[in-house]
Amino acid sequence: MRETEPWKFLDAYRGRVFTGKWPTLPQLFDIVTERFPDRPCFTVYSPERVSLTYKEAQAVTVKVAAYLHSIGIAKGSHVAVTGKNAPEWAVAYLAVLYAGAVVVPIDYQLPTREILALIKAGDVSAAFIDEEKFEEMQKELSTMPCFSLAKGTRNYIYDLAPPSGTKFEPPVVPGQSLAAILFTSGTTGIPKGVMLSHENFVSDCFLAQSNLNISETDVFYALLPIHHSYTMLAVFIESLSVGAETVFGKKMVVKQILSDLKQAKVTMFLGVPMLFNKLLSGIMKGIKEKGAVAYALIRTLMAISGFIKKAFGVNPGKKIFHSVLEKASLSSIRICISGGGPLDPQVFRQYNQLGIDFVQGYGLTETSPILTLNPVEHYKETSVGKVIPGAEIRIDNPNEEGIGEIVVRGPMVMQGYYKMPEETAEVLSEDGWLRTGDLGKLDDENYLYLAGRIKNLIVTEGGKNVYPEEIENEFQLYDEIEQILVRGYIPEGKSVAEEIEALVYPNQDWAAQNKLTSEQIEAQIQEIIAEVNQRLRPYQKITRIQLLNEPLEMTTTKKLKRQTSGSASNLVPELK
């Protein structure tokens, strides 16, 4: 934890720009613009660099907000923003808040009918839409003002301006007032509109910085969909809170990502386990190609580097492996943060050995979302981080291993689900405790360790609890497997106790490159399962496999949707 509070600079603006403990998001943007008017704010490479400074971003945001206000968008209005990661998306989001309204970010990758359903559920009265769906959705939303996030189209956001002579003063809203409704279904269930206030976002943003040292010289990379709470807070809002630069990634394609990282000299790289696994796999593949002797030497140096870093707090890896990181376009990276699911400790360890400060975090949309972060100076590879100041976490009904439901309270906890009082009451108590539905345990230093989701828990014949996510994590470094979902099944002749099966979607590139037949693919997958089974406890062993013809459906942060089972090509008999 840092010696001084990261939000200490706000004291100079309290009473002049805002009152209370935390500013609203527009007030925060005003403060940071005053501090760093000429620093780059929102940037995109398409392919040439296009960037707005803080002063320019604020000016266009206020202009759009004034226009929105002139057509009646004000306190109580809900405005949807749906589109790809881009400076225009960020300006739309902030402009809605400057107008005093509530922003409703929606996943643009959803089918149009689902976007329209969420617009209706969120009581939206205007919408910012990307070019691919603009014409189609404008027809469907004929009674609603619609604006485009794509240059060269009509109603383009940057062209919006209030009538000449209009005077606009952004309305002051209380910090506790609703800022955004984020629709989430997680990996199961119907979408719920999570209501988050300005105070939820801003408090979480600064409290997280107690475990994370960032400044105006950082360059954040917004690669994962920005409508999702993880990117929205941990990249977009964190970045603008300190006057740093946000670079918007257009495609989740490794070649494009590496190009962006290199051109932008990104220092803060946030992603999900699947992405970091692929990047590490590419790095290690390049090292192996140098030959067995060179590979053994580099792995030895990595182990020494990791030991020095862990034991003495010195990071020699940046210098030792500069050429390796340069080739992988990662030499400018200061910190990588993995969220959205547990990461294999080996991956965590190898990035740190290579000289990159690599940490994990944990949170939920319902908690704005950050609850824990691993401090760089004292990280634990198997933990998702230390509980941030202001967040209270307790473990309900712990078993003999200390594992129970994670329950949390703090200023980052949501106001509730929009127009869903019963669903809200199920998870949020009157005194502010939120039931996460996640299982985990705390150590004596207040570091959190995840076990899995309560609803995914498998209970075996001996009454043992098996957490599917723990088993799935064992497969993260096998390139042969693109996706794996572990679940319980009841064998014939049994009525209650479950055994464990794995649904596997093989890596199609691996199969094609090696010209494998379906029988060869099945044989190699069985070998991998058998190898992992050797490492598992007896009651965790996989006894049945389904190979899938098609990939499983995923969320936008690359989590498997567990209620889908995919199309099985064959059912491998029970393994003994």
CA distance 149 to 84: 9
Label residue 563 by pLDDT band (50, 70, 90). Answer: low
Q: Residue 571 has which token pair? A: 């059912």
* Helix (DSSP H) and strand (DSSP E) numbers for the chain: 18, 26
Biggest alpha carbon–alpha carbon distance for the chain: 80
Confidence label for 93 from pLDDT (cuts 50, 70 and 90): very high
**How far apart are alpha carbons 271 and 228 in whole angstroms?**
12
Confidence of residue 403 (pLDDT cuts 50, 70, 90): very high
pLDDT in the model for residue 493: 65
* Domain contains 541: yes
User: Does 366 reside within a domain?
Assistant: no
3-state secondary structure at position 338: strand
199 backbone φψ class: left, alpha, beta (φ>0; ψ -120 to 50): alpha
In sequence order, the 6+-apart residues with CB closer than 8 A to the CB of 212 are: 238, 335, 337, 359, 373, 375, 376
Cα distance from N-terminal residue to C-terminal residue, the chain: 49
Residue 362 maps to a domain:
no
pLDDT at 326: 93
Select from 143, 173, 203 the last residue of a domain.
173
| CATH number for 475 | 3.30.300.30
Share of the chain above pLDDT 70, in %: 95
Mean pLDDT along residues 142-155 = 93
pLDDT above 70 (res 2):
no
Q: Does the structure show a pLDDT above 60 at 572? A: no
374-388, 418-432, 451-465: which has the minimum mean pLDDT? 451-465
Question: Do 202 and 24 meet the contact criterion of CB atoms below 8 Å apart?
Answer: yes
What is the value of pTM for the model shown?
Answer: 0.87
Please state the domain count of the chain.
Answer: 2
Does 369 sit behind a cis peptide bond, omega within 30 degrees of 0 on the bond before it?
Answer: yes
Give me 85's structure tokens.
């990661």
29, 41 Cβ separation under 8 angstroms: no
pLDDT confidence of residue 576: 41
Residue 438 DSSP class: E
In a domain, 160, yes or no: yes
pLDDT of residue 345: 86
Q: Rounded to an integer, what distance in angstroms lies between the CA atom of residue 504 and that of residue 499? A: 16
Rg, Å, the chain Cα set = 24
Picking from 177, 202, 186, the residue whose alpha carbon sits closest to that of residue 78 is 177
Domain assignment present for residue 433? The answer is no
Show the tokens assigned to 569: 């090509």
Cα–Cα separations (whole angstroms), residue 211 to 215, 337, 344, 492:
13, 12, 21, 50
State residue 88's pLDDT score.
97
287 in any annotated domain: no
Is the pLDDT at 186 greater than 60? The verdict is no
Q: How far is CA 457 from CA 381, 405, 454, 489, in A?
A: 24, 12, 5, 12
Helix (H, G, I), strand (E, B) or coil at 475: coil
How do residues 516-530 score in pLDDT, each as one tens digit?
999 999 999 999 999
From residue 107, give the alpha-carbon distance in Å to each of 129, 217, 352: 11, 30, 33
Identify whether 47 is preceded by a cis peptide bond (ω within 30 of 0): yes
Q: Are 451 and 429 in contact (CB under 8 A)?
A: no
Distance CA 47, CA 456 (A): 43
> Lowest-pLDDT range, 3-17, 295-309, 450-464?
450-464
| CA–CA separation, 416 and 41 (whole Å) | 32
Of 173, 198, 230, the last residue of a domain is 173
Determine contact, residues 325/267, Cβ cutoff 8 Å.
no
pLDDT in tens, 226-257: 998 999 999 999 999 999 999 999 877 888 88
**Tell me, what's the pLDDT at 501?**
93
Domain boundary among 173, 192, 214: 173
Instruction: Kindly state the average pLDDT of the residues 362-367.
Output: 94
Tokens of 405: 């439901």
- Tell me the three state secondary structure of residue 430: coil
pLDDT for 453-499, tens place per residue?
888 888 887 677 888 888 988 898 898 999 999 998 888 766 566 88
Residue 546 belongs to domain spanning: 457-572
Of 37-46, 132-141, 550-559, the range with the lowest mean pLDDT is 550-559
Q: Which residues pair with 554 in a beta bridge?
A: 560
Mean pLDDT across the stretch 544-570? 73
Residue 462: its pLDDT value, please?
67
Residue 7 has pLDDT above 90, yes or no: yes
Task: Give the mean pLDDT of the chain.
Answer: 91
Q: Is 354 contained in some domain? A: no
Highest mean pLDDT among 1-10, 224-233, 234-243, 550-559: 234-243
Which three-class secondary structure state does DSSP give residue 569? Answer: strand
Q: Is residue 38 part of a domain?
A: no
List Cα–Cα distances, 97 to 7, 20, 81, 155, 445, in angstroms.
Answer: 21, 19, 12, 19, 38
pLDDT of the residue at 15 = 95
Highest mean pLDDT among 43-47, 136-140, 475-479: 136-140
pLDDT tens, position by position, 260-304: 999 999 999 998 888 888 889 889 988 999 899 999 999 999 999
Q: What is the pLDDT of residue 321?
A: 94
Spacing of C-alpha 371 from chain mean position = 13
Q: What CATH number should be reported for the domain holding residue 66?
A: 3.40.50.980
215: phi then psi, degrees, rounded to nearest 5: -150, 180
